[in-house]
Amino acid sequence: MKNIGLALAVAVTTALPVAAQNLFAPVAKVDDSVITEFEVQQRVRFLQVLNASGATRESAIDALIDDRLRLNATQDVGLVLTPEGLAEGLADFAGRANLSTDEFVKALEGAGVAGETFRDFVRVNLAWRELIRGRYGNRVQISEAEIDRAMSVTSSAGGIRVLISEIIIPAPPNEQAAAMARAEQAAASTSEAEFSSYARRYSATPSRDNGGRLNWVDLSTLPPSLRGVLLGLTPGEVTDPLPIPNAVALFQLRDIQETDAPSPEYAAIEYAAYYMAGGRSAATLARAEKLKSQVDVCDDLYGVAKGQSPEALERGSKAPADIPQDIAYELAKLDPGEVSTALTRANGETLVFLMMCGRTAALNENASREDVALQLRQQRLSGYSDSLLEELRADARISRE
């Protein structure tokens, strides 16, 4: 949101009319909580005003469902923000645009976004952050050795690469418990051979044929939340099961090396996701395989999606920490122009044709040990946050109208 001030200025002059009909019609339901058409329109407009990625109707519904899950979780433990805490959070957010809270709300309202939409957005995210810190903060202990390794990653003098094996176990609706039970089995592996045997039995990715073994990967290309987890392992150890959309992931560290070649941090990852109806059916996978031979760069997908719903193609550039975990895992394996068809959405009914567009490097040579320790801590907490949200999603009754 670097250009948030400019985005607000433009949005005030281009405020969109809001449809008057059916504003309070239910669009989705999370347990006993209803998400209305008004909320969806407000979230889309809010993201447009902020010039944020994912300002589509489908993304807005997904985000509102996640917010309901977060809100319910914080309410279940009796976590309530103080008026002072909320006011401080609102001021911090508005300060990114160099505006006071009142000025920011006025600008939003001029662009068609209700002030309460902004307050609800901040309130939910602040409460969730406090819940994650309170529940997992004591588990996150960053060692001096981890800081040393991370400093190597952020230094232009050299980097770190890891040799890992993966298991991605599908977990469609009503099968989450069985998938987690298999993941717990695999997580108890005490050797590479045992882990590989589980990969061949349970994993859904192409690497299963190789016992889940991947080639050397630069640590900096992996999702931030996974980097911190891997740095805390010794060769042979396995991560805890990591819930991701429609699946559970595990990783075994086989080896880790410091390298002489620079290993840059990435400020942004650009990718395209083309959503294909039919999930992992033979027909859809055949169409995806044919499509691979027809596209060379991400721009080619615009022609493929022409005439379809805007939600059929998602294209954008995001900070690594803002990319969904499962997508980030797949992107880490890809070079620009390469494609993955390992993921699904909509409870397995939609295949994700995922294409890497490019990476933007960011130099971090001047990072202090304190900065690196804080970053590692945030990465670790982010991983816990993502995992808890997936657990809540699996346990909730979620429906769309």
Residue 255: predicted pLDDT: 94
Question: pTM of this prediction?
Answer: 0.52
For the segment 20-78, what is each residue's pLDDT rounded down to a tens digit? 458 889 999 999 999 999 999 999 999 888 877 667 888 899 999 999 999 999 999 99
Please determine, for residue 291, whether its predicted confidence score (pLDDT) is greater than 90. Answer: yes
DSSP 232: T
Closest CA to 93 of 119, 65, 64: 119
Whether 9 and 124 share a structural domain:
yes
| 162 shares a domain with 189 | yes
- Tell me what pLDDT residue 151 has: 63
Cβ proximity of 224 and 384 under 8 Å: no
Are residues 347 and 377 located together in one domain of the fold?
no
Q: What is the CATH number of the domain that holds 164?
A: 3.10.50.40
pLDDT at 75: 94
Does residue 243 sit in the same domain as residue 307? no
Rounded-to-integer distance, Cα 244 and Cα 261, Å: 32
| Residue 296 sits in the same domain as residue 218 | no
Q: Which residue has the tokens 């990625």?
A: 53
Burial class (CB in 10 A: 0-12, 13-18, 19+), 191: exposed
Find the helix or strand (DSSP H, E) in which 250 lies.
strand 247-259
Report the C-alpha gap between 243 and 249 in whole angstroms.
6
Read off the pLDDT of residues 223-266 as tens digits, 9 standing for 90 and up.
877 887 888 889 999 999 988 877 899 999 999 987 766 566 67
Top-confidence residue, 299 or 360: 299
The predicted model gives 275-292 an average pLDDT of 94
Point out the domain boundary residue: 116, 137, 158.
137
Q: Of 121, 137, 153, which closes a domain?
A: 137
Together in a domain, 20 and 116: yes
Range of the domain at 295: 265-362
157 and 287 co-located in one domain: no
Are residues 285 and 347 both part of a single domain?
Answer: yes
Q: Tokens 């008026």 identify what position?
A: 83
For residue 166, give the nearest of 130, 198, 129 by alpha carbon.
198
Q: For the chain, what percent of residues have pLDDT higher than 70?
A: 88
- Provide the CATH number for the domain around residue 113: 1.10.4030.10
Same domain, 382 and 247: yes
Same domain, 244 and 389: yes
When divided into structural domains, the chain yields a total of 3
Same domain assignment for residues 156 and 81: no
Whether residue 195 is found in the same domain as residue 48: no
Of 164, 316, 176, the residue nearest 244 (C-alpha): 176
